Structure 1
Amino acid sequence: MQISILLGTAFISTAFGVTIPRPNAATTARGNGYPRETRGADGPATACSEAQAELGDSIVQTTPLNQTIVENNWSLSCRAEPQCIFQPASAGDVGKLLRILDRHQVPFAIRSGGHSPNPGWSSIGSTGVLLDMSAMNAVTLSADAGTISIGPGARWGQVAAAADAKNVAVVGAREPETGVGGVVLGGGYFYQTSEYGLAADNVKSFEVVLADGTTIEANADENSDLFWSLKGGGPNFGIVTRFDMHTIPSTDLWYTAYMYSPDKAPELLDSMAQWQQEGAADLRSSAIFSIGLDSVLVLLTYGAHTTATPAAFEPFYRVAPSSRRSRRQTARHDYRGVSSQIDAQLYRDVYGFWLERATAVREAVGANQTFVIQHVSDNVAQQGIKNGGNPLGLPQKSHQWWTTLVDWNDAKDDEMARSASIATTARWKEVSRERGLDVDFLYMNDASRDQSPLAGYGEKNIARLKEVALKYDPSQVFQNLQNGGFLLSRL
């Protein structure tokens, strides 16, 4: 099956040197005039009551909680009922909430869109509180449409629509339902990333609320070390309450979606590797390449108006598509990642390893999963350098980020459902190292709960990130009280 459409820029929806201390909470004092209390069982309830009295019912929701808000996470494995829910409407609200949480030493989770499948990253149980950023979802463009200001609770579909109305586009995420905050802080891979870099490298300025409740700007001129750190450094430094991003020119984005039967997968892996090594030199070309157990999806996009099929994708045109469709579970989810250099034989060998295990897992517990190769051009690293740098330590050569999406239904099957992807990433690393094809980088936004993307950023960058975290959060509130996320203290 083939679908060819010319469309605007709206979304195509598809499926270490420095040690961070852990201060004694009972004896350490904050500079805000309040003593810090030892964490205890009464802390969350006390903090919720205090915050509600100070900020009101519209900002702080206590028992009974609105279950629609509680459950507003993509994966069932990430749904938990907190002691209370904070829904700040401004940076000032966030600052007040952080001071209260620090004072009472209450654990917290932060949720932008709630799209991570990692338990605890954007949810927390009754021992803590949830900061739900959904009310801070404003999207506004500058008078010349050169900059777009985005609240952390906005969704990328909303951002794309606002930009498209002004005939510009934004480097963000490919899935319109994902939240802005987590995507940018983890990097942000987009259809036009080969040409314009990651979403994080298209940020002009961050508005950040620090652990002591103060609000600052981080950009190339102000707090530039924090600006650098936030571009892929995750939730380690503060809460971003506004992203000012550069827009990019709007074009009609050509795309073609092909569906193939799974027996075409080995041949298509060859096509993918050939495109990466040849056609992808045209930075306007991009491919979403996803093998499932029932079908293969190849979505080709081209960032320019054209009425002809782009020559860059010639390796894919030789394989005849079919009309088979994949099935997808929609309950519990996980994803996982690994990187390597581009090599068709490596792809084929690891695919065979994955297929055997993924098929066995589906037969055992009904889980579906995908085998996805994401191309990363050498220009991605160059765009990061051009725009002031970032902590990712990306190799300055073309490579790939493999990922998988695992879907299943029952909590009792969690271990089995995740087993194929865990074994596959280990096998990918093993074989790529043996063949000199290893890339020691893991994209944070594809990393699973037990992986460590920060570890691949390089010793020098990690040391600098830790220094910045200590500078802007000297009491390490975000390291000690934050419930989940890829934290520097957990390296």
Structure 2
Amino acid sequence: MMRTSFAILAAIIPLTFTFGASVENLLPRNTTQKQDLTPAQCCDGLKRILDPSKVLLPGSPEYAAQEASYYSGEQVLQFPVCRVAPTSPEDVSSIIKFATTSNCNFAVRSGGHMNWVGSSNIGPEGFTIDLEDMKQIELLDDSKTVAISPGLTWADVYTFLRPHNLHTAGGRSSHVGVGGFLLGGGISFLSLEHGFGSDNIINYQIVLADGSIVNANEAERSDLYWALKGGSTNYGIVTRFDMATFPLDQMWGGSLYYNISLGPTLLDYLVGFTERLAVDANGLFALSIAWNAANNDYLIWSPNAYLAPTPFPSPLYDGLEEIPTVRDTMRITNLVSVTDEINMSSPGGSRTQWFALVFKADATLPWDIYQKGADIMAPFLGKEGTSWALTLQPINVGMIAAAANRGGNPFGLTEKDGDLFLLLISIFWTDPEDDGKIKATTQDFLRWSTDTAKQRNLLNRFIYLNYALDTQPVLASFGDENVRRMKAVQKKYDPKGLLKVWKGGYKLDEV
């Protein structure tokens, strides 16, 4: 993809330092205040403190390749003045110290799978730190732990673990990146028994606002360890996640497809399935009602996974075989194959809007939300490249209890909330002329869905970060007490507010 139609700032003030110079040596002597540099000067400075080949400029193939790799078609069209590709925690430390000292705005990308503009990229007002070259992975502690760098995707992780017959609480779509997934909590095939992905992190290696490289775990910086489980972009750049491993060889997984007329039947089934997770939490049954342009109608897709080579295990999947399908790819297979199949359902590249909603497990509300969506999206669906989907999955009591048993997290969920459903609305289009109308429609749809759930006394305040829209109050949904704790942790580890130059993600200072 060519990126040639943008202007590069011409007035670059030369800096008289050499490659490998320390950050402190880049500033005038006797300076106590931060030095405000232009974005172009920031990039020029980065070339002096790093190997210059790690600073990618517009027009280079490496810059273009990184830009083209975002999931969101709108993030692809944000053009930072440069992109920086660190390969080590020390590189990240140098970048952070330079950026915070020089007031250089930046964004950070791990896998680039967030859906909204500016979540992990930036325009000409700054530079982007792209972690894709940080791809180290190794087994530790007699294979009980896997150390994962943030530039990996979950396909990379599972491919590495497969010969060892191991699994970890990572993403269910193969091309999702490690870093953003875990800093938003993350829901995995293991979550219904073991909690969010972040509940299964044993240690974070993180670069703090002052550039120091530290560990956060239950024994060391335990307050930071807790906050990072839903920390977004508030505490520092995590350069390694040490995660618990679990045995896994073959599994049963794939997809079931259904006629839209079976929607109410399948939603009733999902309620019962969620209740049965109390007996067997090794399976996932989810539903996605999606516009199928090829057939000019809606289709129901159900991704399924069971963490053993057992088709339709009882009692968890009792009754599912009796519901007629239009297509069935279920098979005895491996984790890589299942996550690749899920990834194919939403390959990215479109302009996107997502929003998330959590409510008590109920069959009627999601069907009503689908019908409302079908009504308000109807004017757009005749246009090529435009579609939308409603996806529903359980957050069961066992998942909430597992999180508490692992030291808790900031999300504010308790077992008293009971079994819940997590709803994701995802809207896709390609024509920039539709941006305003579709984004306004998304806001109306979110407002109607939230109000309806609230009116029926079904709404839970928790908003899942990884599915949320940028306008949703994600961190506030964690509850006042947890927000206070998170802010206290932020004040402790970034007392001067140096990381305000980090743009993107969900910010505590906006709560």
**Shorter-chain TM-score range:** 0.7 to 0.9
Q: Report the equivalent of 2:55.
A: 60
- Residue 307 of structure 1 and its aligned partner are, at CA, apart by 4.9
Q: Report the equivalent of 2:504.
A: 484
Q: Report the equivalent of 2:241.
A: 243
- Residue 309 of structure 1 and its aligned partner are, at CA, apart by 4.4
Give the aligned residue type for 2:215: E
Q: Report the equivalent of 2:450.
A: 429
Q: Report the equivalent of 2:460.
A: 439
In structure 2, what is the Cα distance between the partners aligned to 1:359 and 1:280? 39
Give 1:275-290 correspondences, 5 Å limit.
275-278=273-276, 281-290=279-288
- Picking from 270, 273, 279, the partner of 1:272 is 270
Give 1:39-78 correspondences, 5 Å limit.
39=36, 42-65=37-60, 66-78=63-75
Judged with a 3 Å threshold, the aligned counterparts in structure 2 of structure 1 residues 418 and 191 are, in CA distance, closer, same or farther, namely farther
> The residue matched to 2:186 in structure 1 has which SS?
coil
1:176-205, CA deviations, whole angstroms, 9 ceiling, x for partnerless residues? 111100000000111221011111000000
Q: Report the equivalent of 2:321.
A: 317
Give 1:385-424 correspondences, 5 Å limit.
385-396=404-415, 397-424=418-445
- Picking from 452, 461, 465, the partner of 2:486 is 465
> The residue matched to 2:206 in structure 1 has which SS?
strand
> The residue matched to 2:48 in structure 1 has which SS?
helix
> The residue matched to 2:413 in structure 1 has which SS?
coil
> The residue matched to 1:58 in structure 2 has which SS?
helix
- Residue 439 of structure 1 and its aligned partner are, at CA, apart by 0.6
Comparing 269-278 and 136-145, the one that deviates more: 269-278
> The residue matched to 1:333 in structure 2 has which SS?
strand
Q: Report the equivalent of 1:370.
A: 389
Query: Is 2:474 the partner of 1:456?
Result: no
In structure 1, what is the Cα distance between the partners aligned to 2:380 and 2:490? 41
- Picking from 82, 100, 103, the partner of 2:101 is 103
Comparing 151-160 and 250-259, the one that deviates more: 250-259
Judged with a 3 Å threshold, the aligned counterparts in structure 2 of structure 1 residues 104 and 402 are, in CA distance, closer, same or farther, namely same
> The residue matched to 1:311 in structure 2 has which SS?
coil
Q: Report the equivalent of 2:308.
A: 304
Give the aligned residue type for 1:91: P
> The residue matched to 2:371 in structure 1 has which SS?
helix
In structure 1, what is the Cα distance between the partners aligned to 2:112 and 2:58? 21
Query: Is 2:352 the partner of 1:333?
Result: yes
Mapped contact 2:55–2:82 kept (Cα < 8 A): yes
Judged with a 3 Å threshold, the aligned counterparts in structure 2 of structure 1 residues 309 and 386 are, in CA distance, closer, same or farther, namely closer
In structure 2, what is the Cα distance between the partners aligned to 1:444 and 1:204? 21
Q: Report the equivalent of 1:155.
A: 153
In structure 1, what is the Cα distance between the partners aligned to 2:312 and 2:259? 26
In structure 1, what is the Cα distance between the partners aligned to 2:317 and 2:454? 29
Give the aligned residue type for 1:482: W
In structure 2, what is the Cα distance between the partners aligned to 1:279 and 1:242? 32
1:390-412, CA deviations, whole angstroms, 9 ceiling, x for partnerless residues? 11111322101100221110122
Mapped contact 2:278–2:398 kept (Cα < 8 A): no
Q: Gapped runs of 5+ residues in structure 1?
A: 1-29
Q: Report the equivalent of 1:7.
A: none
Judged with a 3 Å threshold, the aligned counterparts in structure 2 of structure 1 residues 266 and 447 are, in CA distance, closer, same or farther, namely same
In structure 2, what is the Cα distance between the partners aligned to 1:230 and 1:275? 31
Query: Is 2:363 the partner of 1:344?
Result: yes
- Residue 279 of structure 1 and its aligned partner are, at CA, apart by 5.4
Q: Report the equivalent of 2:9.
A: none
Comparing 404-413 and 184-193, the one that deviates more: 404-413
Q: Report the equivalent of 2:252.
A: 254
In structure 2, what is the Cα distance between the partners aligned to 1:105 and 1:363? 47
Judged with a 3 Å threshold, the aligned counterparts in structure 2 of structure 1 residues 33 and 130 are, in CA distance, closer, same or farther, namely farther
In structure 1, what is the Cα distance between the partners aligned to 2:51 and 2:75? 27
Mapped contact 1:262–1:292 kept (Cα < 8 A): no
Mapped contact 2:253–2:306 kept (Cα < 8 A): yes
**How many residues end up aligned between the 2 structures?**
458
1:143-194, CA deviations, whole angstroms, 9 ceiling, x for partnerless residues? 5111100101111110011111211111110111111000000001112210
Judged with a 3 Å threshold, the aligned counterparts in structure 2 of structure 1 residues 323 and 255 are, in CA distance, closer, same or farther, namely closer
Mapped contact 2:70–2:349 kept (Cα < 8 A): no
Instruction: Between the two structures, name the one with larger relative contact order (CA 8 Å, sep ≥ 6).
Output: 1
> The residue matched to 2:257 in structure 1 has which SS?
strand
In structure 2, what is the Cα distance between the partners aligned to 1:37 and 1:411? 39
In structure 1, what is the Cα distance between the partners aligned to 2:394 and 2:149? 29
Mapped contact 1:302–1:310 kept (Cα < 8 A): no
Judged with a 3 Å threshold, the aligned counterparts in structure 2 of structure 1 residues 352 and 63 are, in CA distance, closer, same or farther, namely closer
Q: Report the equivalent of 2:333.
A: none
Mapped contact 2:192–2:277 kept (Cα < 8 A): no
In structure 1, what is the Cα distance between the partners aligned to 2:123 and 2:51? 22
Comparing 346-355 and 373-382, the one that deviates more: 346-355
In structure 1, what is the Cα distance between the partners aligned to 2:201 and 2:384? 42
Mapped contact 1:368–1:406 kept (Cα < 8 A): yes
In structure 2, what is the Cα distance between the partners aligned to 1:113 and 1:389? 26
In structure 2, what is the Cα distance between the partners aligned to 1:105 and 1:352? 48
> The residue matched to 1:314 in structure 2 has which SS?
coil
Judged with a 3 Å threshold, the aligned counterparts in structure 2 of structure 1 residues 358 and 263 are, in CA distance, closer, same or farther, namely farther
Mapped contact 2:258–2:325 kept (Cα < 8 A): yes
Percent identity, please: 28
Judged with a 3 Å threshold, the aligned counterparts in structure 2 of structure 1 residues 34 and 90 are, in CA distance, closer, same or farther, namely farther
Give the aligned residue type for 2:54: I
> The residue matched to 1:292 in structure 2 has which SS?
strand
> The residue matched to 2:156 in structure 1 has which SS?
helix
- Residue 330 of structure 1 and its aligned partner are, at CA, apart by 4.2
Comparing 46-55 and 187-196, the one that deviates more: 46-55
Judged with a 3 Å threshold, the aligned counterparts in structure 2 of structure 1 residues 250 and 33 are, in CA distance, closer, same or farther, namely farther
Judged with a 3 Å threshold, the aligned counterparts in structure 2 of structure 1 residues 149 and 277 are, in CA distance, closer, same or farther, namely same
Mapped contact 1:210–1:473 kept (Cα < 8 A): yes
Q: TM-score, normalised by structure 2?
A: 0.85
Q: Report the equivalent of 1:474.
A: 495
- Picking from 122, 135, 156, the partner of 2:120 is 122
Q: Gapped runs of 5+ residues in structure 2?
A: 1-26, 293-298, 330-343
Give 1:378-389 correspondences, 5 Å limit.
378-389=397-408
Please provide the CA RMSD for this pair.
Answer: 2.3
